Amino acid sequence: MLEAFANEEVMTTNFAEGGYLPPDPSVTESVDPDDVGALGDFLDTLAVAGQNTVPRPVTVAWPDQSPQVASEVSAAYQGEKSPEQAMSDLESSLGSIESDLAE
């Protein structure tokens, strides 16, 4: 099963049919735009996204922290808070979650 999903042809098919970005950026860079339908118009952008992807943090706190991150970043983008205030609030919130889990 793992070998199949590591196969370039399978990654290309998953990309073309499901829109799943391949974990190997070279697949996005080498795919024929005509083979992936509408995604072909965005291959350059998707290649950059693939090269700069960072895995999410792996901690027991992340399921509780993720909504806090999304909320504070959204508040900053929407102008509900200044970026500085949103990040300060996020720092407090994340610290509180980690403290609760440490107990």
Domain ranges for the chain: 2-51, 62-102
Q: Does position 56 have pLDDT exceeding 80, yes or no? A: no
Q: Given this model, what pLDDT does residue 31 score?
A: 86
Q: Given this model, what pLDDT does residue 87 score?
A: 97
Q: What would the two tokens of residue 80 be?
A: 């509900």
* 10 in Cβ contact with 4 (< 8 Å): yes
d(CA 18, CA 86): 35
Phi-psi region of 28 (alpha: psi -120 to 50; beta: other; left: phi over 0): alpha
CA end-to-end span of the chain: 40
Q: Given this model, what pLDDT does residue 12 score?
A: 87
